[in-house]
Amino acid sequence: MSRLARIAVVGGDTAGARAVAGAVVSLLTAVGRWVEQVPADADLDPYAAVVLPRSRGWRTVRERHPGPLVVVDADLLGGRPDAEFLPLLSGAPRATLAIGDTHALLPCPLPPLAGPPPGDAPRGLVARAPSGAAYALPVVVSPALRTVAGFWSLAALVEHTVAGVLNEQTALYAAPWPRGVRAARALTYDLDGLEAGGVLPRFAARDRPATLFCTADALGRLDAGDTTGEIAAHGDVHRGFGDARTNLARVDRMLDAFRAARLAPRGFSPPNSTYSSDLAPLLARFRYVRLGYQERGLRFYPEPRGDGVLVPVSYYTDFLQRYVGPEECARLLARFCRWAEATSVLAVPCFHPCLWPEPLARFLDQAGGDVWEATLGELTDWWTRRRAALAAVATGGEAAPADLALVRATPAERLAALRPRDGALRGDARPRTARVVVGEREVSVVAAMAEPAADVDIPLARRWRVLGWLPGPLRRAASRALLPVANETGMHGCLYRDLGVAAEVTRGALRLPVVAADEPVMVRHPVGADAGRAARRLVRRLVVPALARLRPDRTSA
């Protein structure tokens, strides 16, 4: 009888590889695997299996780890795979592939694979390579991930692949959350505006467990004894941490102010969830750091890192409210939380109750659902305790702490027990487009839909239709420069900003090649200054290299 398998997912060094690594970690963790993301130079000896998020450099990893190896190849998203795996690619690339009962849209067309898969992994998506490694298409990077049925179809693909390379008939699984609770949620409040005379609504201080991020210059307006929430740090002042030379000095100045107020924050989150310096000194000062956005990296669980834990935001409500209004924002947040509950992941909504109390009030009026709702400090404690308990179980057998739920089952039994019987979330079937003005900028907003959609067109004003007359490469470059998808958060941030998926002007409309489920798309229309800058960039990118090629080679004279 096999013990708890420890699985390593090597971190990616490209945008596609980072997305693949994050998705694989999330899917395997949801199933109940003990999975850890490790750096490229990590010691791989303790791991029963290793997952690589790209094929480049796989031979080096094979030399260090002769055991089970899975390559989920992000190199197919933007280039060619290693020559070892080229013979496995067969057939014409497809923009949609069937994954179980899910038809998954892809950020770029991918060819099916030829050859037998390991174990019960699906044919055409996973195949054994001549070297013995399992090779998988990077279909985990798909808007299907943000549907209930799609999430579990992708989880089944990854789980059957891992079980196949481990040659496991049954496996030992550990639930992500204590006592087998289905899912977890951390409500987080950024107290922006409190330092300028704002007021923290009483329902935000006294209602459900929450983590309140406060700047040092606002501590005098925060009555720590009047809240049941956890107070964490949000900066010395509400200004981004974008200067690597001064970031750490500002953090220490902030900590001095908290100590003077007799507060010891365990956590920190910088404004806008971005930090430009090395994270190691930061994680040495705080037990956890809320940083980045879950769906940009497709990571839906806490990530142990050095001495601390990273926890990204999953839903930035006030950013969304500006584009869709409070009613639609509340509806989409509720749907996101139902998706998180059905997929066993961690939801981390971010509210600004001093500036926009309405989104939080509407959320708190809804039923909480069957989730463990806790502060980020409590969640961090559990994640640290779970990690130690998994190591103990792997060493000593199946005896575990009472709050760690263990299950031995076949992969098919485990997946059937986790997947909800009715995973559909009903909603709008057709895309609708509205135009809003945010900060004197015009933005087209494509409404959220219940399922992912492809080739969604946004009507354009006449002045922009002329772009459709340009030659193909120039048209695509102009479309990307002049009409960018503006989403900072969510899966569209991953697809359009990180992976480089681009909308394109065609026949009087801007065509979006993919729209994720339950998430609007924001396309920013340029003002005059934007058009001028974009034109200059296009000249530098297209015209200057062309002139250089036409110029006579002076060295040949």
Chain segment 134-191, per-residue pLDDT in tens: 999 999 999 999 999 999 999 999 999 999 999 999 999 999 999 989 999 999 999 9
458's tokens: 């946004």
354's tokens: 């001093």
412 shares its domain with 511: no
364 shares its domain with 411: no
Domain enclosing residue 234, as ranges: 180-381
Domain boundary among 362, 390, 418: 418
Kindly state whether residue 308 falls inside one of the protein's structural domains: yes
Per-residue CA distances from 490 to 247, 304, 519 (Å): 27, 22, 7
Kindly state whether residue 228 falls inside one of the protein's structural domains: yes
- The CATH number linked to 167 is 3.40.50
Kindly state whether residue 398 falls inside one of the protein's structural domains: no
CA 277 from centroid of its chain's CA atoms: 21
Kindly state whether residue 393 falls inside one of the protein's structural domains: no
Region 17-28: mean pLDDT is 98
Domain count, the chain: 3
Regarding beta strands 134-136 and 69-72, do their DSSP bridges make them parallel or antiparallel, or are they unpaired?
parallel
83's tokens: 């020559």
Strand order in the sheet with 433-438: 433-438, 441-446, 521-524
230 shares its domain with 356: yes
Mean pLDDT of the chain: 89
Query: In a 3-state reduction of DSSP, which class is residue 366?
Result: coil
Per-residue CA distances from 189 to 193, 201, 214, 360 (Å): 12, 11, 9, 9
Region 269-298: mean pLDDT is 95
140 shares its domain with 274: no
Distance between CA 210 and CA 232 in Å, rounded?
A: 10
212 shares its domain with 343: yes
Q: What percent of the chain has pLDDT over 70?
A: 91
157 shares its domain with 239: no
198 shares its domain with 142: no
Which pLDDT score, from 0 to 100, does residue 151 have?
Answer: 97
444 shares its domain with 508: yes
Residue with tokens 């940009």: 296
Residue 555: band (very low, low, confident or very high) from pLDDT cuts 50, 70, 90: very low
Kindly state whether residue 425 falls inside one of the protein's structural domains: no
Kindly state whether residue 130 falls inside one of the protein's structural domains: yes
Per residue in 42-77, pLDDT (tens digit) is 999 999 999 999 999 999 999 999 999 999 999 999
Give the torsion sign (CA, 226, 231, 234, 236): positive
157 shares its domain with 206: no
Kindly state whether residue 387 falls inside one of the protein's structural domains: no
228 shares its domain with 165: no
Which pLDDT score, from 0 to 100, does residue 531 have?
Answer: 57
Kindly state whether residue 386 falls inside one of the protein's structural domains: no
Q: Which residue would you say has higher pLDDT here, 527 or 72? A: 72
488 shares its domain with 360: no
Q: Which residue would you say has higher pLDDT here, 421 or 508? A: 508
85 shares its domain with 63: yes
Q: Is the pTM of this model over 0.75?
A: yes
- The CATH number linked to 298 is 3.20.20.370
